[in-house]
Amino acid sequence: MLVIGAGTAGAVIARQLHRAGLATLLVGRPGAGLRPGESLPGAARPLLRDLGLLSVLDHSAALPNLGNLVSWDSDTLQPTDFIQDPHGLGWHLDRPRFDACLLEAARSDGVLHIEAQVNRVQRLSEGWRVGTQAGDFSAGFVVDASGRHGVLRRRLGLARICDTPLVAVYASARDAHEDHRTVLEATPEGWWYSACLPGGRRIAVLHTDAGNASRLIHTPSLWHQGLAGTRYLQHWCRASEGWSPLSATGAGGGALCTAQGPDWLAVGDAALAFDPLSSQGIFNALYTALRGAQAVVAHHRGDQLGAQAYSGQLHQVREHYLRRVRYYYQAQTRWPQAHFWRLRRNEALRA
């Protein structure tokens, strides 16, 4: 087995496959530096427990997430208190550290890890050859855990459904606010959130159209003006100091038409990616790693239906997700002429 990508999904599925007795090679560089994707809902607790990975939260110094404050379909700021959530509090993660702990858990269980970028994937008459700067590796079965980049999809030309494009433009700063809840606010040009990060920092992210994102990256002062112009979020960011340079990343939802083939399977964002509004991405990376590993093990024992059932399960998850995300975009009816919202409302109405 060869797993491409040493992020959340990759580290977890490699560990699960190794534990099931399958020789597994994990190839990829762990992420470093600031990246958005730091809120893990309390619903992940049983999943981490089943995986035997609950201790990773302590080891990565995750902070409790007490709740959200949201201004979405009205001018008021509505609190959601996670104490009332049956799953309990969520967490704010130091994401590179969280992923590094998952990788360490895989390595210390015995997974062989090659820290290298995959730059070639070739299908042979039987199995695969995967090329990296550290050399070429052969495998009978490949798992794509390379995130939205989707290494296998690009190499094989696999069909992927892409939802309305969405770009996240973000920066971090030293955090000076005492309220550590996540704040989310809709504005005419898109929606913002700000969350605290372990280590005394705070991230602020604007989700907007590609055209607007490119304008902000070229003229960062416009992003800072947008932040200062928010009704609520600015109060969590006002005293923040030393903003990092702006970065941008694709954040739109999407899914492979099928998440598996006779000798491959995709997990995490490589299989099914969500709009960050859902806060579901890390949970999905863990869940698909767990279920994906079960499907690969079944396949190895000659049960071909397990992987198809896995793909069908992801299809159902996506249908459920689409209903929810469309509901939220439709509910936001302020600024009917704003391009960002018109596009999303029309899409929800067409569905």
- Give the binding range for ligand FAD (CB under 6 A) out of 63-71, 228-236, 280-288, 290-298: 280-288
Considering the complex, state which of residue 166 and residue 338 has its C-beta at the smaller distance from ligand FAD.
166
Instruction: Fill in the per-residue mask, 32 to 51: x = in contact with ligand FAD (CB under 6 A), - = not in contact.
Output: ----xxxxx-----------
> Does residue 31 bind ligand FAD (CB under 6 A)?
yes
Query: Which residue of 145, 293, 307, 348 would you call a contact of ligand FAD, by CB under 6 A?
Result: 145
Question: How far is 194 from 171, CA to CA, in rounded Å?
Answer: 10
CB 301 to ligand FAD: min, Å: 26
Q: Which two tokens stand for residue 75?
A: 């001018």
> Does residue 168 bind ligand FAD (CB under 6 A)?
yes
> Does residue 16 bind ligand FAD (CB under 6 A)?
no
Considering the complex, state which of residue 4 and residue 143 has its C-beta at the smaller distance from ligand FAD.
4
Query: Which residue of 266, 279, 326, 340 would you call a contact of ligand FAD, by CB under 6 A?
Result: 279
Query: Which residue of 60, 146, 187, 194 would you call a contact of ligand FAD, by CB under 6 A?
Result: 146
**Secondary structure of the chain as H, E, C letters:** CEEECCCHHHHHHHHHHHHCCCCCEEECCCCCCCCCCCEECCCHHHHHHHCCCCHHHHHCCCEEECEEEEECCCCCCEEEEHHHCCCCCEEECCHHHHHHHHHHHHHHHCCEEECCCEEEEEECCCCEEEEECCEEEEECCEEECCHHHCHHHHHHCCCEEECCCCEEEEEEEECCCCCCCEEEEEECCEEEEEEEECCCEEEEEEEECHHHHHHHHHCHHHHHHHHHCCCCHHHHHCCCECCCCCEEEECCCEEECCCEECCEEECHHHCEECCHHHCCHHHHHHHHHHHHHHHHHHHHCCCCHHHHHHHHHHHHHHHHHHHHHHHHHHHCCCCCCCHHHHHHHHHHHHC
Query: Which residue of 214, 247, 249, 308 would you call a contact of ligand FAD, by CB under 6 A?
Result: 249
CB 245 to ligand FAD: min, Å: 16
> Does residue 29 bind ligand FAD (CB under 6 A)?
yes
CB 302 to ligand FAD: min, Å: 28
- Give the binding range for ligand FAD (CB under 6 A) out of 28-36, 76-84, 133-141, 230-238: 28-36
> Does residue 184 bind ligand FAD (CB under 6 A)?
no
Binding residues with ligand FAD: total (CB under 6 A) = 38
Question: How far is 263 from 254, CA to CA, in rounded Å?
Answer: 22
CB 336 to ligand FAD: min, Å: 25
> Does residue 276 bind ligand FAD (CB under 6 A)?
yes
- State the residues that interact with ligand FAD by CB under 6 A: 4-10, 27-31, 36-40, 117-118, 145-147, 149, 151, 168, 205, 249, 251, 268-270, 276, 279-283, 285
